[in-house]
Chains A and B, each alone.
Chain A
Amino acid sequence: MKAVCWMGTEKISVENVPDPEILNPRDAIVKITSTCICGSDLHLYNGLIPTMEQGDILGHEFMGEVVEVGVGIDREKLKAGDRVVVPFTIACGRCFFCERQLWSCCDNSNPNYWIAERMMGYSPSGLFGYTHMMGGYAGGQAQYARVPYADVGPIKIPDGIPDERVVFLSDIFPTGYFGALNCDIQRGDTVAVWGCGPVAQFAIRSAFMLGAERVIAIDRFPYRLRMAEEAGAETVNYEEVDDVVETLKEMTGHIGPDSCIDAVGMEAHDNSLMYFLDKAKQTMRVETDRPIVLRQCIQACRKGGTVSVPGVYAGFDDKVPMGAFMNKGLTMKTGQTHMMRYMRPLLERVEKGEIDPSFVVSHRVPIKRAPEMYKKFRDKQDHCTKVVLDPWANGAVAA
């Protein structure tokens, strides 16, 4: 089959690899019909998350048709022919954490748990196509994928809804929703969202759904800010203001946003001296992340407010203003999304027509164009917001 492989920093290639096989009783094999490039894949593209190996298959946002299930799977739950969206976190469904709905903290799904333990104390769940520290599972930017514990994660999708409306249930829609939910929004709240990428777009829309009165979105790309405006957000282009924190103060009568969402993560940009310092440290591998947005969130948040972090951080961060965090009595909520909590209710919202997630799609291309799309997405060329790959198409299709 064809698969998008990580061959080194900024080296992506579409390789012919063997088809996946059932390895465990509760596995399933899914024939993939749509698969996406996630913003978090760009951290791998840029070579900034440790424990990738040449030849690893990328991708964690995919859906398709079940073609085979293992003997350990109850056919009532899943059988060949079912159309499913697969969540990016892998959860066993039986451990302490799964029983408490903390699906992304599953204790059994990461066979390389001990690598993660060395960095984090304890290991989160396994993820598709996202480093060996997170399990080393082959990803879903391919024609087929093996899905472990397939009776827990995949959600069945009725026929008649196009792929593009549901494929984002695999990660970014629930992740944006989780980011907004973590803000504990009260009716009338003001929420500031850093970044206007796909996760942020869903966070903005979810914040309104959850009762926020004002959402302020911060980015530097006009086409992304426009997309946030379309959802009803006020926008700040951080390249056009002197200081984001001051701007937010002015916009909120010097009280600050009730909650701040960091939908950017470890590769934030800025024009400050601190940015260049972080960038240099990251390049020299003495700091894994550039926590510019995290610092701004903590500074900008109103006293007693909440900082929600759906953006990905990999390791260790310098100069996080812990004094501000403590003295202002802030709360921070974060985590990889507990996918299985939110996929079903969000699917219902899509079915009812309350939201059509396909608005984020900017490019639909055959899988063989994945290498150029990684670059285009990273460099924000051609108004790229979201790339959907068709694993079976040959020709290009205009967006």
Chain B
Amino acid sequence: MNSATVIGRSSARSRAEAAQRWGALIGGSAVAVFGLTRRSPAGYALAAAGGTLAYLGVKNSSAVRDYEARASVLLNCTPDEAYNFWHKFEDLPLFMRHLDSVSQVGERRFRWVAIGPMGVRVRWEAEIVSDRTNELIAWRSLPGSDLFIEGEVRFGAATGNRGTLVETRMRYSSPAGALGRAVTTLFGKNPSFLAQQDLRRFKALVETGEIPTTEGQPHGRRSAITAAARWANPDRPIRRESRASEVLSAMRRIA
């Protein structure tokens, strides 16, 4: 699993920055905790200073705005099956769980709506810039969008008759402003991990006609700790799983 690659920065430099950020966060937190345990005015002042340092550490870590996400998966199907499935852009939200909808607005133009933190909707229009049957689809957002996105998906016959190798690559960058930051937070989870999860769902959908899920199954009493842990899980899905009926009707359309 790749971690997010920051475009235009050397890995050594980004490692050094990460060390600084973590240093500020951990050191600042430690100073804050120490200060609080003193229970004196000087202690509280120390705590405030430590807290500020930790805050800067966290804040600095979310200042990065350019991302590249890469993912790949081996599909047990022919390249044309995979290509045809992906080519129905309107159905991408079935397996891309950060998307709300994709709708066609022109011959090669689509309007994408993604779901950001707290349910904020982020919209962009993208144009297909390259489309080679059973090989490649590439798209790019148009000026005036909430963010810049460049994406491509490649389909290639795998070695040894093992089906199709699907590779995706997406680059995001967001302009400044609240919305831009919201998107950054969303994709800042780890874009490659999210993209890989999307591809795994794509694989399940193409191979089996459904996406495996346990959402909606019964269980006994959950504890508050379990509930909190589920909520705080950074890999918690952004929206619920696509419903079986939606998946089925999409499969029929594609067939």
Which residue numbers of A lie inside 8 Å of B, CB to CB?
A: 1, 3, 5-7, 13, 15, 17-26, 53-57, 70-72, 92-96, 99, 107-111, 113-114, 117, 126, 135-138, 142, 146, 148-149
Contacts and interface: CB of A to CB of B under 8 A. Distances in A.
A26 B212 contact: no
Contact of A114 (B197, B210, B214): B197
A89 B163 CA distance: 25
Nearest to B230: A53
Secondary structure of the A contact surface, majority rule? loop
Contacts, number: 116
Contacts of A137: 214, 217
B76 A94 contact: yes
B17 interface: no
A70 B210 CA distance: 12
B235 A70 contact: no
A95 B213 CA distance: 17
> Which bucket holds chain B's interface residue count?
20 to 34
Given A54-B226, A114-B197, A114-B235, A146 B217 contact: yes
Contact of A111 (B196, B208, B213, B220): B213
Contact of B218 (A7, A19, A95, A117): A19
B163 to A, nearest CB: 7
A93 B76 CA distance: 11
Contact of A17 (B204, B210, B216, B218): B218
B207 interface: yes
Interface in B67-93: 74, 76
B203 A108 contact: yes
A111 B207 CA distance: 14
Nearest to B197: A114
Nearest to B215: A23
B6 interface: no
A376 B247 CA distance: 46
B209 A72 contact: yes
Interface string B16-53: 00000000000000000000000000000000000000
B162 interface: yes
Given A107-B203, A148-B212, A23 B226 contact: no
Nearest to A71: B248
Contact of A117 (B1, B76, B247): B1
B239 to A, nearest CB: 15
A27 to B, nearest CB: 8
28 contacts: A1-B218, A3-B220, A20-B218, A23-B213, A23-B216, A23-B217, A24-B212, A25-B244, A25-B247, A55-B226, A71-B248, A72-B209, A92-B204, A92-B212, A94-B76, A96-B76, A107-B203, A108-B203, A108-B207, A108-B208, A109-B212, A111-B211, A111-B212, A111-B214, A135-B212, A135-B214, A142-B218, A148-B212
Nearest to A1: B218
Interface in B223-253: 223, 225-226, 235, 244, 247-248
Contacts of B217: 20-21, 23, 137-138, 146
Closest 3 CB pairs of A and B: A5-B220, A55-B220, A15-B220
Nearest to B207: A94
Nearest to B221: A55
A331 B217 CA distance: 41
Contacts of A21: 216-217
A54 B218 contact: no
Contacts of A53: 222, 226
Contacts of A6: 220
Nearest to B216: A23
A93 B209 CA distance: 11
B220 A13 contact: yes
A24 B162 contact: no
Secondary structure of the B contact surface, majority rule? loop
B219 A96 contact: no
B218 A56 contact: no
B51 to A, nearest CB: 32
Contacts of B140: none
A5 B163 CA distance: 41
Contacts of A71: 248
B222 A126 contact: no
B163 A96 contact: yes
A146 B215 CA distance: 12
A107 B201 CA distance: 11
Contacts of B218: 1, 3, 17-20, 57, 138, 142
Nearest to A126: B212
A134 to B, nearest CB: 11
Contacts of A18: 218
A136 B235 CA distance: 15
B200 interface: yes
A54 B219 CA distance: 9
A108 B248 contact: no
Given A25-B244, A111-B213, A113-B200, A94 B208 contact: yes
A26 to B, nearest CB: 6
B222 A92 contact: no
A23 B207 CA distance: 18
Contacts of A96: 74, 76, 162-163
Nearest to B217: A138
Nearest to B196: A114
A54 B223 CA distance: 6
B220 A92 contact: no
Nearest to B200: A113
Contacts of A146: 217
Contact of B220 (A17, A26, A108, A113): A17
B209 A25 contact: yes
Contacts of A109: 212
Nearest to B162: A96
B162 to A, nearest CB: 7
